Homo-oligomer: A and B are copies of this chain.
Amino acid sequence: MEDKKENLNRLFNPRKIVIIGASNRPGSVGNSLVKNLINNHFPGEVFFVNPKRQTIAKQAVYHQVVDLPDGIDLALIATPAATVPGIIEECIRKKIGGAAVISAGFAETGAKGKKLSSQIKKNIKRNSFRVLGPNCLGFIRPHLKINASFSGEEAQSGRVTFLSQSGALGAAVLNWAKQHQIGFANFVSLGEMLDISFGELMDYFADDPTTNSLLIYMESISKPRLFIRAAQSLSRKKPIVILKGGTSTAGARAALSHTGNLAGNELVFDTVFRRAGILRVHSLEDLFNCISALAKQNIPLNNRLAIITNAGGPGVIASDILEKNQGQLAKFEKRTTKKLKTILPSASSLKNPVDLLGDATPELYYEAARICLCDSGVDGLLVILTPQGVTDAEGAARAIAKLKDAAGKKIILAVWMGEAEGLKTLHRAQIPAYQFPGQGIRTFLYLYSYHKNLKNLNQAFSLPPTENDPRSKSAAGIIRRAFKEKRAFLSEYESKKLIRAYSFPTLDFRLAKTAFEAVKQAKKIGFPVVLKLHTTETLHKLELNGVKLNLDSPQEVRKAYDDIKKGFLKQFPDSHFAGVLIEPMLSHRYELFLGGKKDSIFGPVIVFGRGGIDIELTNDIVTELPPLNPLLAENLISKTRIACLFTGFRKQTKPDLKKLIFLLCRFSKMLIDFPQIKEVDINPLAVSGSCYQVLDAKIILDLDCPLKPTNPFGHLVIPPNQSR
């Protein structure tokens, strides 16, 4: 393990590099590698391997790896895919630290390529050799003068570390960055991630003093546990911005209403990123805008923006976009308004957005901006300039640039509409500047949401006690029995007993195996009652007509029993009818949904929102990862529309928020205690006055999960204080 780490370090900090497949032919990959290393004045030694050449870049060429001198740290391999496993074999024998495999033609091309990949994998498993790629661009570390890539684009030296799964996209980013004065601490193209993954690189660059923020383009994930742990640890120190490309999310929210379908893949990724303190953006433009803003500026602590402009229209548009996206126009302190009044022409608006009018001078821009930044109710400032007859766009840009250092914790963004020169001045001054108001506003709000993620990440966890409370033993008993019977579906009776062990309030529920018994139980419970099919066979009782509500008399109960039985046997003529579940009838106005599912990549996920039989029609659900503490639970609740029940809605009795928070935490604990739960749906969790009642619950088990997990924390997200 230590060797693996050491070799990773040799790979990224090489003193001796060999290019295998080096070439003199202009335009070839082998030639680009040579030129990029030499032209960037790599301070160490470079060797070349090519069986057919004598000299490259005026240097003698080795014909095979075995002839190379000892002590080489990094091999850049650009030979045909089929030759690569053999070459790596030789590199290992030569005790080279690792290789960046530039060559394409591996797993991405089909069966033949996959075989090559697994050959390499098998080989490096037995020793400490490291592989970046294959099918990657290589990497660039401008501070160390290492350009170990065949990229046509140079990376300027700077403080952003950029990890990109796609090489071409990486090159486009480098190109764009150059135009916007953004420099890089590191650029790594990951390619197939046969060995080196995002998580490991995040860990590696966490300690890199030249890196102040991380930019990731991801298409898929390998080693998810490592990824989350690395992200949680890193993001408290350095911002991480991610753009994840993936197949469409269409369908993620569609289909039947159980958690398995509700929390589609992309939603889980959203949750994971949020919980790991990562800022997720959804377009290249936002990726660029955020990274440039993060590289240049502070992160706003709240969403209150001041806007100053020399024209009403763009100010109005900016305000609209801000409020549409849950931002706020800052309300100025009296002091601010007073100060603005002393400098602004009489026709100006003193309210936010501040209209400086069409003839605003650079001095007026400067003064107005300075005053707004002093307001304690302002978290960020957007300065808008539109070219008008007398506008000195360049001068105003210089004036705003001067404020950069005075801004303190507040962020300054600029929109210079159609003023290319002014934009350049602002870029040079490290002020994020845009052509349109929308981009500025979006960036501001992205940065604020990043701040919120961080706050979540940093708050102290107060996990419920981890020792098993006695009641969870009864839960374990239910699961053990189902495992014994190799039964993945628990009956409603079992499901309710299990969640009751985790403090969920359930109604007085009883089983009855005959109509006679049903009537007897109903009398004990008290009319009206509900009868439900008791089964472990199916999950959709409603569609089987297996639910009879509001039964008011023994006659009705008897008839309902017979109907349910008849319906069941009609559908499953060869099955055993196991009876019914009887509960009191509860009238209630609102229904919540609480679900959990085991994501194939990330493990347990919690889904909460408005419930009922038609969640997908209401579409009011949110997701989170366990463990929850009360604050996280409250945050989760507050993200739904149904949350307005708790702030008082139409003069109705407020449900007990604290109780719900407690239940969410207990639910989270249950998912952690029992990794054997594949899916659980509590739906509806009825809201009746200020109380809650579980009216239906379904649990599906993962029979492939060991009954006694080796690791009691067999889930991904671990509290920060235990993270490293």
Contact = CB atoms under 8 A, between A and B. Distances in A.
A676 interface: no
Given A171-B388, A543-B650, A320 B249 contact: yes
A436 interface: yes
Interface in A162-180: 164-169, 171-172, 175-176, 179
A248 interface: yes
A632 B437 CA distance: 36
Contacts of A250: 323-324
A417 B610 CA distance: 43
A313 B165 contact: yes
Contact of A314 (B172, B323, B324, B649): B172
Interface in A379-416: 386-391
A46 interface: no
A437 B282 CA distance: 11
Interface string A604-641: 00000010011011111000000000000000000001
A176 to B, nearest CB: 5
Contacts of A645: 617
A246 B323 CA distance: 11
Nearest to A243: B317
Interface string A276-311: 000000111100000000000000000000000011
A312 B166 contact: yes
A151 interface: yes
Contacts of A710: none
A376 B436 CA distance: 37
Contacts of A329: 248
B283 A321 contact: yes
Contact of A179 (B169, B175, B245, B418): B418
A82 interface: no
B389 A316 contact: no
Contact of A650 (B285, B386, B614): B614
Given A166-B311, A389-B152, A617-B610, A245 B317 contact: yes
A247 B320 CA distance: 7
A105 B357 CA distance: 12
Given A165-B313, A439-B285, A172 B386 contact: yes
Nearest to A217: B313
Contact of A176 (B249, B284, B389, B417): B417
Contact of A152 (B32, B217, B247, B387): B387
Copies in the complex: 2
A172 B390 CA distance: 13
B284 A436 contact: yes
A417 B287 CA distance: 14
A59 interface: no
A183 interface: no
A356 to B, nearest CB: 11
Interface string A637-667: 0000110110001110000000000000000
A104 interface: yes
A119 B175 CA distance: 59
Contact of A282 (B321, B389, B642): B321
A109 interface: yes
Report the interface size class on chain A.
Answer: 35 or more
B437 A284 contact: yes
Contacts of A108: 347
Given A27-B390, A150-B389, A245-B313, A617 B620 contact: yes
Contacts of A176: 417-418, 435
A650 to B, nearest CB: 7
A282 B320 CA distance: 9
A569 interface: no
Given A27-B389, A284-B436, A617-B644, A651 B543 contact: yes
B168 A311 contact: yes
A408 B284 CA distance: 30
Contacts of A590: 614
A271 interface: no
Question: Which of A150, A313, A316, A390 has the most chain B CB atoms inside 10 A of its CB?
Answer: A313
A220 to B, nearest CB: 10
Given A168-B386, A283-B317, A347 B649 contact: no
A540 B329 CA distance: 34
Nearest to A642: B617
Contact of A104 (B317, B347, B620, B651): B347
A148 B390 CA distance: 18
Contacts of A650: 256, 540, 542-543, 613-614
Contact of A285 (B310, B438, B542): B438
Contacts of A153: 387
A166 B313 contact: yes
Question: Which of A256, A540, A542, A650 has the most chain B CB atoms inside 10 A of its CB?
Answer: A650
A17 interface: no
A219 interface: yes
A386 B285 contact: no
Contact of A320 (B27, B217, B248, B358): B248
Given A418-B179, A617-B610, A314 B641 contact: no
Given A312-B166, A617-B620, A642-B617, A320 B171 contact: no
A677 interface: no
Nearest to A416: B172
A323 B248 CA distance: 6
B245 A320 contact: yes
Contact of A246 (B29, B320, B417, B542): B320
A439 B317 CA distance: 18
28 contacts: A109-B347, A152-B387, A152-B388, A152-B391, A153-B387, A166-B311, A166-B312, A167-B311, A168-B312, A169-B314, A171-B387, A172-B387, A172-B418, A175-B419, A179-B418, A243-B317, A245-B313, A245-B316, A245-B317, A247-B316, A247-B319, A248-B324, A285-B438, A543-B650, A617-B618, A617-B620, A617-B642, A617-B649
Given A543-B650, A614-B650, 12 more contacts: A152-B387, A165-B313, A166-B314, A168-B310, A168-B388, A172-B387, A175-B419, A243-B317, A283-B438, A284-B417, A617-B644, A618-B620
